[in-house]
Amino acid sequence: MRTTPPLVQSKLCFIGILTLLIFAVGEEFAIAEQPSVMAAPSWPRFLNTDFSGTAKMSVSVADGVANWPWGDPPQCRWSLSVGEGYGLGVIDRGAYFHFDAHEGKERLRRIDMRNGQVLWSQENELNYRDLYGYESGARCSPTIDGDQIFTLGVAGALTARDVETGTQQWRIETNQRYHVVQNFFGVGSAPLVNGDAVIVMIGGSPIADQAIAPGRLDRVSPNGLLLVAFHRDTGEELWRCGDDLASYSSPRTMQIGDRKCVLVFGREFLHVIDPVEGKSLGNVRYRADILESVNAMVPVVSGQRVLVSDCYDLGASLFEIELDRGEATFRSVWRDPEGRRRDQSLRSHMSTPVLQQGFLYACSGRNAPDSDFRCVDFATGKVQWTAMERRRSAATRLGEVLLVLKETGTLHVVRCTPVRFDEIAVWNLDEASGDGSADRPAIRYPCWAAPIIAGDSVLVRGDETVLCLKLPTS
């Protein structure tokens, strides 16, 4: 029987990648015995079911997660060699699903969370060459819903499989079908399942645009194909809408009044889409006027307010979105000064900010020399503090702490507080260690995916390795 994971109605807010456990802000709990990996709830899609990048805790904590013995060296449950790509996978049914490229083929594997054993591996042909020399593997996570797993590959292949066996149910080469002119780094958006619809960012164009050189997106015309919805059982197209090209963000849901909408940050615009009728309800332009600028973060939602950010020229903006006679209106709450990077509150690039109790915790900056990790007041855009200068990072929240992974491989445990940068511990995952029984290989740059948490396990990913680490206990 198919079940659809509940999507939390957007007052909880967000960033991240994979999970476990149920957490309620401000409540106190009593700690349970060692949680079983097999019993852990799933993290079935990018940024988790509520798009917040937050681990859902089934174990409770009397004295708070921040008081765990984080300074102890992490035990390694298992490590997994992975192929080309940059994302982490998803977790369901006691298994981890990793999507990558291996020996010129697109590959999806199911891995036992207890021991790292590969349970099955399925492959498809892959024909992709990156314009800038980046790897040919997946840029985004799969999506699990009920008994199906959906992947969108770097070359635009959308595939539906049975989650238990890996058997392919259908496959669509979306780049070919919808005449997509190759984006700078290929395709990098996670599928969104809404009822029977698998909603995917496509960004197609008229067939005549196939004569345009890859990457020359300034010459490409959108063709009402920003989003396309496919029936989950057959792959049949259900609807198409959105006059924009694709970005590296991923579509998410948002409740506006009594109406469930899809929010998508395309190449040029932030769009509000009706996912039932498949029609645009409105949009607002948000992109730097630079050919090679890209939008990549997933919009952060709190109630009716939506934050978007870019690292090239615009910085961040907070909008209040309302529906007036079925049309979306965007009221600006605050906006960074355009072009004045040193005065901007938040310049999001690859990672999505985490929102916790009214404050954003996020990496700000485009490249290593000008990046830092900071805390920003969601309502005003005021920067509370900055730290971890000169390196990019990505964060996941577990209770009242953040697990912040630097792109070089160190994992920082940081308390969620706007008062100061309160670092609890640092795990040097860029250094190998071992006690003879559970060796931990080092992870190497680039470590661009946010950590993921499931049960009492933390998964982190470097260039060629995924580590499954055991959480400390109090």
Question: Are 291 and 272 within 8 A, CB to CB?
Answer: no
User: What residue has token string 């949009």?
Assistant: 283
Residue 29 within any structural domain of the chain: no
Spacing of C-alpha 128 from chain mean position: 22
CA distances for 253 relative to 45, 96, 155, 302, angstroms: 13, 24, 25, 12
Whether the bond between 191 and the residue before it is cis, its omega within 30 degrees of 0, is no
Which residues share a beta bridge with 198? 193, 230
Structural domain contains residue 374: yes
User: Given this model, what pLDDT does residue 405 score?
Assistant: 98
| Burial (CB count <10 Å: 0-12, 13-18, 19+), residue 30 | exposed
Residues 228, 441: Cα–Cα separation, whole Å:
41
Pairing of strands 105-112, 118-125: antiparallel
What is the CATH classification number for the domain harbouring 139? 2.130.10.10
User: From CA 461, how far away is CA 251, in angstroms rounded?
Assistant: 23
**For the chain, percent of residues with pLDDT exceeding 90:** 84
Rounded to two decimals, the pTM is 0.90
Determine, yes or no, domain membership for 51.
Answer: no
User: How long is the chain?
Assistant: 474
Asked if residue 28 belongs to a domain, the reply is no
**Cβ neighbours of residue 287 under 8 Å, at least 6 residues apart?**
267, 268, 269, 293, 295, 310, 314
Q: Is residue 340 part of a domain?
A: yes
pLDDT per residue as tens, the chain (474 positions): 444 343 333 333 333 333 333 233 332 222 233 334 434 468 999 999 999 999 987 555 545 889 899 998 899 999 999 999 999 999 999 999 999 999 999 999 999 999 999 999 999 999 999 999 999 999 999 999 999 999 999 999 999 999 999 999 999 999 999 999 999 999 999 999 999 999 999 999 999 999 999 999 999 999 999 999 999 999 999 999 999 999 999 999 999 999 999 999 999 999 999 999 999 999 999 999 999 999 999 999 999 999 999 999 999 999 999 999 999 999 999 999 999 999 999 999 999 999 999 999 999 999 988 999 999 999 999 999 999 999 999 999 999 999 999 999 999 999 999 999 999 999 999 999 875 546 899 999 999 999 999 888 899 999 999 999 999 876
Structural domain includes residue 378 = yes
Question: Is residue 324 in some structural domain?
Answer: yes
Judge whether 5 lies within some domain: no
Instruction: Return d(Cα 243, Cα 268) in angstroms, integer.
Output: 9
Q: What is the pLDDT of residue 8?
A: 33
Number of domains composing the chain: 1
* Residue 201 near residue 227, CB atoms below 8 Å: yes
Instruction: Give phi and psi for 285, each to the nearest 5.
Output: -70, 140
Please give the pLDDT value at position 439.
85
d(CA 252, CA 234): 22
What residues make up the domain containing 303?
65-470
3-state SS track over the chain: CCCCCCCCCCCCCCCCCCCCECCCCCCCCCECCCCCCCCCCCECCCCCCCCCCECECCCECCCCHHHCCCCCCCEEEEEEECCEECCCCEEECCEEEEEEEECCEEEEEEEECCCCCEEEEEEEECCCCCCCCCCCCECCCCEEECCEEEEECCCCEEEEEECCCCCEEEEEEHHHHCCCCCCCCCCCCCCEEECCEEEEECCCCCHHHHHCCCCCHHHCCCCCCCEEEEECCCCCEEEEECCCCCCCCCCEEEEECCEEEEEEECCCEEEEEECCCCEEEEEEECCCCCCCCCCCCCCEEECCEEEEEECCCCEEEEEEEEEECCEEEEEEEEECCCCCHHHCCCCCCCCCCEEECCEEEEEECCCHHHCEEEEEECCCCCEEEEECCCCCEEEEEECCEEEEEECCCEEEEEECCCCCCEEEEEEECCCCECCCCCCECCCCCCCCCCCEEECCEEEEECCCEEEEEECCCC
CA distances from 101 to 237, 278, 460 (A): 27, 32, 18
Q: Is the separation of the CB atoms in 39 and 474 below 8 Å?
A: no
Q: What is the pLDDT of residue 58?
A: 56
Residue 6: predicted pLDDT: 37
Model pLDDT for residues 92-141, shown as the tens digit of each residue: 999 999 999 999 999 999 999 999 999 999 999 999 999 999 999 999 99
